[in-house]
């Protein structure tokens, strides 16, 4: 089946471009930060510099691993669902479920290996820039020289390959099981994440304003809450749109499409929820902390500078990955609807009406993701602000929130409308015939 996987990639390479891009970015980020371990392990590196570099590699490396998995999983899920007929034909031709899994996993591993190899050069450049940033901030001594060693290379390749193989296995598993899904187990995990996240965020009130670990409980609480909402995303898409006050044919059709395609669009909602929650909570809490330190007249310690750098770096990584995930998933999902768009036009719909439906779908997705992401973010921001400043909601929150909403809306609506407009340039009859 490995030979068949390579033939499949060579025959239709365009189908794997989104997965390749996700693997490339993930490997580059993981290797760039893991190279800090190689740099810290050199002879002559002082303990303070080694601690800063090791912390950066550990914290961001962990986030990077999760993001690689989610990014690759989102693209592979769309890929496998669009190939359901092809995979079913293989089953009818005598292929066993295990063989189909090996085919899809083999494709994912091969693409991930190419992406990881291509990421080595950018990872070296990124690692050098990261070390320079730490040195400019006074967190690492100027005498420390950059090193890209075996730890960075092996961890980057291993994380990318394992994440790709695991994501591919989970993506194809539902197809080979005949569409059955363990919804009960997923709901149980979701409710567990929601309860744990709420408890973690609430435990912030037990800390004092001077505790060094004050930011950890609300940050992890917001992340767990966003994970819980993300796991419930198919149910949210089936329930929330029906309660929105939408009028007209475009609004009605958009709600109907979202409810029927909730499982296919869940990955988009996952990205929106987690991006809104993590970015808004992290940036707002860091701004509150910086303002409090500035108001006290104290100078930030090396640990405080490290935390600020890591927070902003994590937000930047999350933003990049979410944008990639959204663009890849929306592009693939919208392009796959070319036959649907053609049928609508043959039934009398104008291109403008089709675009209005797509725009309404994107707006509903954005509003739903932003709403639940904001709830998760506030669950962390409010307790942290109460303990740190005695206020309830910081002045920085509205500005940060609006910026995150603007990014979410721009990426979601821009990609979906742009892809739909490009798809509609194909004549309706040709679109229906080519997709048949």
How far apart CA 36 and CA 165 sit, in angstroms, is: 26
Q: Three-class SS of residue 425?
A: coil
pLDDT digits (tens, 9 = 90+) for 217-227: 898 899 889 88
User: What is the reported pLDDT for 381?
Assistant: 94
Choice between 114 and 262, residue whose per-residue pLDDT is larger: 114
- Mean pLDDT value across residues 346-357: 87
Contacts of 257 (CB under 8 A, 6+ apart): 357, 361
Mean per-residue pLDDT, 398-402:
94
Mean pLDDT of 373-402: 92
pLDDT at 209 over 90: no
Handedness of CA 83, 89, 92, 94 (dihedral sign): negative
Do 127 and 31 contact (CB within 8 A), yes or no?
yes
Residues 304 and 306: their CA atoms lie apart, in Å, by 5
Q: How confident is the model at residue 185 (pLDDT cuts 50, 70, 90)?
A: confident
Give the integer Cα–Cα distance in Å for 363 and 368: 9
Confidence (pLDDT) at 1 = 47
Q: Measuring CA to CA, which residue among 365, 370, 356 is closest to residue 247?
A: 356
No. of H helices and E strands in the chain?
17, 0
Residue with tokens 């089936």: 238
From 268, 254, 300, 274, select the one nearest 404 (Cα to Cα): 274
Gap between the Cα atoms of 397 and 118, Å rounded? 39
285 pLDDT more than 70: yes
pLDDT greater at residue 263 or residue 52: 52
Residue with tokens 């309860």: 195
Q: pLDDT over 70 for what percent of the chain?
A: 89
The highest-confidence range among 22-26, 60-64, 219-223, by mean pLDDT, is 219-223
pLDDT at 245: 66
What digits encode the pLDDT tens for the residues 158-183?
A: 888 888 888 788 777 766 665 555 56
What is d(CA 196, CA 237) in angstroms, rounded to the nearest whole number?
A: 23
Is 435 a residue whose pLDDT tops 60? no
| pLDDT beyond 80 at 51 | yes
Check residue 312 and give its pLDDT: 80
Looking at per-residue pLDDT, the higher value among 75 and 282 belongs to 282
Query: Residue written as tokens 């293989």?
Result: 90
pLDDT at 29: 85
In the predicted model, what is the mean pLDDT of residues 139-149?
90
Cα distance between residue 273 and residue 230, in whole Å: 7
Q: Which of 106-115, 121-130, 156-165, 300-309 has the lowest mean pLDDT?
A: 300-309
> pLDDT tier at 3 (50, 70, 90 boundaries)?
low
pLDDT at res. 56:
79
Share of the chain above pLDDT 90, in %: 16
Pick from 95-109, 322-336, 377-391: least confident: 322-336
The average confidence (pLDDT) of the chain is 82
Contact in structure between 134 and 16 (CB atoms under 8 Å): no
């Amino acid at each position: 089946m490995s030979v068949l996987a390579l033939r499949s990639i060579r025959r239709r390479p365009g189908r794997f471009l989104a997965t390749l891009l996700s693997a490339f970015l993930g490997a580059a980020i993981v290797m760039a930060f893991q190279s800090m371990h190689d740099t810290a392990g050199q002879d002559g590196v002082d303990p303070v510099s080694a601690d800063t570099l090791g912390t950066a590699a550990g914290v961001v490396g962990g986030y990077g691993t999760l993001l690689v998995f989610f990014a690759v999983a989102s693209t592979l899920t769309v890929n496998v669902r669009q190939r359901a007929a092809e995979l079913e034909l293989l089953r009818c031709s005598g292929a066993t479920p295990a063989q189909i899994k090996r085919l899809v996993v083999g494709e994912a591993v091969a693409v991930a290996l190419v992406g990881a190899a291509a990421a080595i050069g950018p990872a070296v450049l990124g690692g050098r820039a990261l070390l320079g940033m730490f040195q400019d901030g006074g967190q690492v001594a100027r005498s420390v020289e950059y090193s890209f060693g075996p730890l960075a290379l092996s961890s980057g390749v291993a994380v990318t390959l394992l994440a790709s193989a695991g994501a591919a296995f989970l993506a194809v598993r539902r197809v080979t099981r005949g569409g059955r899904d363990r919804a009960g187990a997923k709901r149980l995990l979701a409710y567990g994440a929601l309860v744990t996240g709420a408890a973690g965020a609430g435990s912030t009130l037990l800390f004092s304003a001077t505790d060094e670990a004050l930011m950890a409980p609300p940050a992890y609480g917001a992340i767990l809450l966003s994970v819980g909402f993300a796991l419930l995303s198919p149910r949210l898409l089936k329930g929330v749109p029906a309660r929105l006050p939408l009028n007209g044919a475009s609004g009605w059709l958009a709600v109907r499409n979202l409810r029927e395609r909730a499982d296919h669009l869940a990955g988009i909602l996952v990205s929106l929820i987690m991006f809104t929650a993590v970015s808004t909570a992290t940036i707002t809490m860091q701004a509150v902390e910086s303002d409090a330190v500035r108001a006290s007249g104290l100078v930030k310690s090396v640990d405080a500078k490290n935390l600020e750098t890591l927070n902003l770096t994590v937000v930047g990584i999350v933003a990049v990955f979410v944008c990639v995930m959204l663009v890849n998933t929306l592009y693939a999902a919208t392009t796959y609807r070319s036959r649907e768009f053609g049928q609508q036009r043959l039934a009398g719909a104008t291109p403008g009406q089709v675009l209005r439906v797509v725009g309404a779908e994107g707006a509903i997705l954005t509003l739903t993701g932003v709403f639940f992401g904001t709830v998760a973010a506030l669950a962390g921001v409010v307790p942290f602000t109460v303990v740190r400043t005695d206020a309830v909601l910081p002045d920085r929150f509205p500005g940060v929130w609006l910026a995150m909403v603007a990014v979410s809306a721009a990426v979601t609506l821009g990609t979906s409308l742009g892809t739909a407009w490009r798809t509609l340039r194909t004549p309706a009859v040709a679109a229906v015939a080519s997709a048949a």
